[in-house]
Structure 1
Amino acid sequence: MKKYLLILLSFSSSFIFSQKVESRRLTKQEIAQRELENLTDYPIYRAFEFSDKGGVYELVLGENQKVISKKDTLNTKIQAVCVINDHGGFLNQWKINDFLEDTLPKETKIWFWTKYCSTKDIDGDGLIEPVIVYGTRNEDGYIRRVKIITVYKKKKYVIRAVECDFDNCRSFEKDQSWNTLPQKIKTYINQLTEKMRKEQNVLLKNG
């Protein structure tokens, strides 16, 4: 009996630690099938399902689509929600909320920059480290704020940037805990930041 239990425990452990790390974007039909609409306060803009040795997760990105202009949908608030599947239900893991700030020139839009978001196992530890990127645009059409949020072991590590033509109103700040991240993750985010600079003509720097 003891031998059987040891074999069973060994098999279970092997299954848990050998579980594949996978991620994919969900279709509208899959979002409805999984009943994810109620996870966020706003209409779902994009949703992902990913799995690692910790379990199976659903990540939804919601934008409130508050103002519809002739050219674009203008969001004033956004929300990202990550949950884990738990015996047919969902358990909250973490959440991100943000909204337009009262600035001059006035901010008119906030949106998830999904081109730069990712759900990857960056450091190869068998756990996915989601990276959420979003920005704001002002009434002159220029990007004003950029946030890059890395979630590592359920804790958020944030880079906050403000774009401005003048040195005294431009900023690029990393959380004080940033340096505690594994080097592979820091390297990945630094490369992502450089890619955004080149592709979007943003400065992402201080002064």
Structure 2
Amino acid sequence: SEPAAAPGSPEGEEKLAGKGKSSGPSARKGKGQIEKRKLREKRRSTGVVNIPAAESLDEYEDDEAGQKERKKEDAITQQNTIQNESSSGDTSGSYLLQVMFHLLFAFCSTANAPEDDASNRYSRTDRTTYSRYSRDANSSGSSIPSNALEKRIEELERELAKERQENVRLMKMTQDKEELIGKLKEEIDLLNRDLDDIEDENEQLKQENKTLLKVVGQLTR
């Protein structure tokens, strides 16, 4: 075995230099990792990229590619969210329009019907419309808020009830006026008959007057 070199001898200095060279790459590697970490923190905070060494270029490119991919995914997610919200709004609006159409049809279909038939037809139409409304609401899923939808249904039902009462009132007024018109027609017919009788009586009196004038003329001769 070789004898140990003295600390101050040239052999000792060469061994220390050799140890320094063997530990140099590890030190540089640790320093490079620290610089890479600082680079990432600086890039997140300022958006400005400074590449201090060529050995961090690959990691920088990987991070840039990952950021672009994440931005692309975020854009796609945002677009899908906007489309879903738009579709949900369109479904809700068209659904309310459909319900209003059914309720308006129920009101118009009974406008000229008798009162009893109108009430029966109202109830049948309301049940049909409400059942169809419920089926459509179940099929539409969570795109329409159930509480807001039920509140809107109640408002439409109240409006329909008011229109129904107004329709019944107008029908009653029309019926009363028709009865009054019928009575007036009967009175007019009676007056026309009386007028005919008076005209006949007047004509008879004229004939009698002529006859009397002839008799008086003959007597005066």
TM-score (norm 2): 0.27
Q: Which has the higher contact order (CA 8 A, sep 6+)?
A: 2
Larger Rg: 2
Instruction: Give the strand-richer structure, 1 or 2.
Output: 1
Question: Counting helix residues as a fraction of each chain, which structure ranks higher?
Answer: 2
Q: TM-score, normalised by structure 1?
A: 0.29
